[in-house]
């Protein structure tokens, strides 16, 4: 009836058909997934735009000024005046004295440095 | 044999007959079978073909109709990257009533997302035969996603882009406006379109995500401070208008510029009112005594006048039926610095006279006060000048009457007087000092500029600019109180006040110009001169914005040092 080669060929054909079908089906599923992700990304992008606009709305100087004025007393807020602005270089140097140096060295020696960094094993 | 033969014949005949009959019957049956098979095969081929056809077809897209195409625009951001203008996408919900299965269910589901949906009205709309009804405009993306998640058939969205200005009116005159199609029609928005964005949009290349934000030279914080001060001043002095600009002296960058009354670009119903135009660049005014800055600089730069020279201001100048007088005349001989700080009309007129009419006009032209200023804003007015310059014109123009310029242009010229003599067109886009120096035009010598700094500072210490002084920022400035023309005559009660300042005065980083149009006295009994209203406005602007601009306050400087260093 059927020769072995026929059986083999039919099996191969069926397998190929099944494989093709599965591949196409999978591809469609992936496309669907892709579309979903694209929609999601688009939505997120739009949300980011809105949130950015929202953020700049909330950080408008006009709004911050209004808030600062409202909570001025409560929080003890005051505008910075020019005489309060200085750099480190503007500060007078601390005069060097023997006692001061000795104390500094003693302080540095008595307490081990507690700072840990990622570079060195504590 | 016969028998056998006959039987063979019979057999043969029978066979033949049987064959013939079988053939005849079988032929017809076979035809039928073939036909039936053909029909069946045809049906199955059609079915199969249709199946293949369906399988080949792409899945139909979700039933959201194509969005209305509104042009994409780049965001506008300030020099620190704060958003000044942006596109936001809004979704509008529509329904196709014919495709809605259960109206009650649809409305019930919808109202979980839109709680304020009017039930009866919506029902009436959905019950109709219409193919398309709007349900709600301008939803947020969140609401849109929620409605999509409801899975109600027959609902759809159209997305529309809208221009949004988070700052509202704060920078309205700089940013300008867009129309309903998101096309720029004023200000920087129009400038951006004219730079080729309009062409990009026309060819469909301006796709969202491809547009880099446009960075401006404006600092949102300073811009707010300027506008805030102007709005307060408008109320305090009951003026009809006010404007101010903060300019970077060495690059010509506009850090902030406002003109009130203005409009809200998010709702520009009144944007085209004549009263709300951008007076800083589209309005021309006779700038008054601030023009003495230019007359003095011209006289000093010509080499014909030095700081040590003196002019007789004892008597008014009479010419052609006009009398040129001083408001607070000292009635004595004044030195050049005295003429500047007492703002003497007589003295200034005499300085202009030294240079001559032709030289005067040529100088004002050179510093860009007689031509149309070139900048990004489309709204720029052309200054006015007399058709023919006579001596009387030169005299009045020397103290700021007879030539009307835009305030921004005046600030540009004043910056040139203070920054070492470089005339740099103002810009609203970032510009480095190197770029500025490439396009700068040397209009006065650095030495004259140093002398002008000294005069500016002197005026803030001893003259009319005292109320502009800010501790630590070393402001130098010049007031200008101009009389406005009412019914063809100069009125002494209707004024246009201005103040031009530079800070820090020893090497100005910023130039500030403020004007108030028709201010009234703050309270009974005091005047309404520029020293009393424009100067304090400048002080407030500098006091509030200088720390933000990173200008380092310094104390203990003497202005005499300035004079010594430049002499």
Say how many C-beta atoms besides its own lie within 10 A of residue B159's C-beta: 18
Residue A72 neighbours by CB under 8 Å, 6+ apart: A78
User: Which residues of chain A lie closer than 8 angstroms to B88, CB-CB?
Assistant: 49-50, 53
Task: For an interface test with A, give the residue of B89, B544, B551 to mutate (most A CBs within 10 A).
Answer: B89
The catalytic site residues of B sit at 289
- CB-based contact B553 A85, cutoff 8 Å: yes
Task: For an interface test with B, give the residue of A34, A53, A58, A90 to mutate (most B CBs within 10 A).
Answer: A53
Interface check A66 vs B, CB under 8 A:
no
Tell me, what's the pLDDT at B435? 92
Per the DSSP assignment, residues forming a β-bridge with B156 are: B94
With contact defined as beta carbons under 8 Å apart, do B551 and B280 qualify? no
Question: First CA to last CA across chain A, in angstroms?
Answer: 83
User: Which residues of chain A lie closer than 8 angstroms to B87, CB-CB?
Assistant: 49
Where residue B320 falls (left for φ over 0; alpha for ψ -120 to 50; beta otherwise) is left
User: Which residues of chain B lie closer than 8 angstroms to A53, CB-CB?
Assistant: 83, 86, 88, 164, 166
Instruction: Select from B65, B85, B91, B68 the least CA-distant residue to B211.
Output: B85
Tell me, what's the pLDDT at B22? 52
ipTM of this model? 0.70
- CB-based contact A50 B555, cutoff 8 Å: no
Tell me, what's the pLDDT at B443? 94
Q: What is the mean pLDDT of each run of 10 residues along chain B (567 residues)?
A: 50 51 65 92 94 78 49 87 87 85 87 87 84 80 84 84 88 89 88 80 62 91 95 92 94 94 88 87 91 93 91 86 78 89 90 92 93 91 91 90 93 94 94 92 93 91 85 88 82 87 90 93 80 91 90 68 47
Residue B478 C-beta-side C-alpha neighbours within 13 Å: 35
pLDDT band at A10 (very low <50, low <70, confident <90, very high): very high
Extract the tokens encoding B184: 């720029």
Find the helix packing angle between B141-150 and B103-113, rounded to 10°: 150
Residue B285 neighbours by CB under 8 Å, 6+ apart: B279, B404, B405, B406, B407, B482, B496, B498, B515, B517
**Residue pLDDT, tens place only, A54-84:** 898 899 999 999 999 999 999 988 888 888 8
Does residue A86 have a pLDDT over 50?
Answer: yes
For every residue of B280-315, DSSP letters joined together read HHH--EE-GGGGHHHHHHHHHHHTS--TT-EEE-SS
pLDDT band at A45 (very low <50, low <70, confident <90, very high): confident
- CB-based contact B89 A49, cutoff 8 Å: yes
Tell me, what's the pLDDT at B207? 58
């Amino acid at each position: 009836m059927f020769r072995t080669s026929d059986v083999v060929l039919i099996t191969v054909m069926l397998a190929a058909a099944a494989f093709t079908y599965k591949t196409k089906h999978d591809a469609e599923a992936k496309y669907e997934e892709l579309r979903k992700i694209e929609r999601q990304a688009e939505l997120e992008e739009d949300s980011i735009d809105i949130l950015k606009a929202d953020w700049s709305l909330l950080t408008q100087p006009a709004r911050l000024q209004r808030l600062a004025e409202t909570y001025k007393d409560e929080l003890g807020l005051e505008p910075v005046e020019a005489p309060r602005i200085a750099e480190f270089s503007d500060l007078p140097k601390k005069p060097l004295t023997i006692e001061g140096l000795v104390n500094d060295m003693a302080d540095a020696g008595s307490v081990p440095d507690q700072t840990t960094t990622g570079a060195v094993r504590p | 044999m016969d028998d056998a033969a006959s039987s063979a014949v019979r057999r043969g005949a029978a066979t033949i007959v049987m064959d013939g009959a079988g053939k005849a019957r079988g032929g017809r049956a076979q035809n039928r079978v073939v036909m039936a098979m053909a029909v069946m095969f045809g049906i199955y081929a059609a079915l199969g073909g249709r199946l293949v056809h369906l399988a080949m077809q792409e899945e139909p897209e979700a039933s959201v109709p194509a969005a209305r195409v509104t042009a994409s625009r780049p965001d506008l951001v300030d020099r620190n990257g704060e958003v000044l203008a942006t596109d936001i996408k809004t979704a509008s919900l529509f329904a196709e009533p014919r495709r809605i299965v259960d109206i009650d269910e649809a409305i019930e589901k919808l109202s979980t997302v839109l709680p304020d949906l009017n039930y009866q009205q919506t029902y009436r709309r959905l019950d109709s035969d219409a193919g398309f009804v709007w349900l709600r405009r301008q939803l947020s993306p969140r609401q849109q996603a929620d409605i999509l998640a409801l899975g109600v058939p027959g609902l759809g969205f159209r997305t529309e882009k809208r221009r949004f200005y988070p700052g509202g009116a704060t920078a309205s005159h700089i940013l300008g406006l867009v129309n309903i199609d998101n096309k720029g029609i004023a200000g920087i928005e129009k400038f951006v379109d004219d730079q080729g964005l309009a062409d990009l949009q026309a060819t469909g290349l301006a796709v969202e995500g491809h547009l880099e934000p446009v960075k401006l030279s404006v600092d949102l914080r300073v811009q707010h401070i300027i506008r805030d001060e102007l709005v307060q001043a408008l109320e305090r002095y009951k003026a009809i208008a006010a404007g101010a600009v903060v300019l970077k002296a060495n690059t010509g960058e506009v850090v902030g510029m406002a003109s009130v009354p203005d409009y809200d670009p998010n709702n520009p119903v009144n944007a085209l009112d004549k009263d709300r135009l951008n007076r800083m660049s589209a309005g021309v005014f006779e700038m008054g005594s601030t023009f003495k800055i230019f007359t003095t600089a011209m006289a000093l730069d010509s080499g014909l006048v030095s700081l040590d020279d003196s002019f007789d201001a004892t008597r008014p100048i009479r010419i052609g039926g006009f009398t040129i007088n001083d408001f607070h005349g000292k009635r004595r001989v004044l030195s050049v610095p005295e003429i500047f700080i007492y703002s003497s009309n007589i003295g200034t007129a005499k300085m202009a006279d030294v240079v001559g009419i032709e030289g005067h006009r040529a100088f004002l032209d050179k510093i860009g006060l007689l031509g149309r200023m070139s900048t990004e804003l489309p709204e720029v007015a052309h200054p006015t000048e007399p058709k023919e310059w006579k001596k009387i014109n030169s005299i009045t123009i020397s103290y700021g009457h007879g030539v009307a310029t835009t305030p921004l242009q005046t600030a540009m010229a004043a910056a040139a007087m203070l920054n070492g003599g470089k005339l740099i067109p103002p810009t609203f886009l970032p510009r480095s000092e190197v770029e500025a120096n490439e396009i700068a035009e040397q209009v006065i010598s650095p030495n004259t500029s140093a002398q002008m700094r000294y005069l500016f500072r002197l005026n803030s210490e001893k003259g009319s600019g005292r109320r502009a002084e800010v501790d630590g920022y070393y402001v130098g400035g010049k007031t200008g109180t101009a009389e406005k023309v009412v019914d063809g005559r100069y009125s002494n009660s209707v004024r246009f006040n201005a103040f031009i300042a530079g800070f820090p005065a020893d090497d100005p980083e910023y130039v500030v110009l403020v004007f108030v149009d028709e201010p009234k006295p703050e309270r009974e009994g005091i005047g309404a001169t520029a020293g009393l209203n424009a100067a304090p406005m400048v002080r407030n602007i500098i006091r509030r914005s200088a720390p933000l601009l990173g200008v380092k306050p310094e104390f203990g400087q003497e202005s005499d040092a300035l004079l010594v260093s430049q002499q």
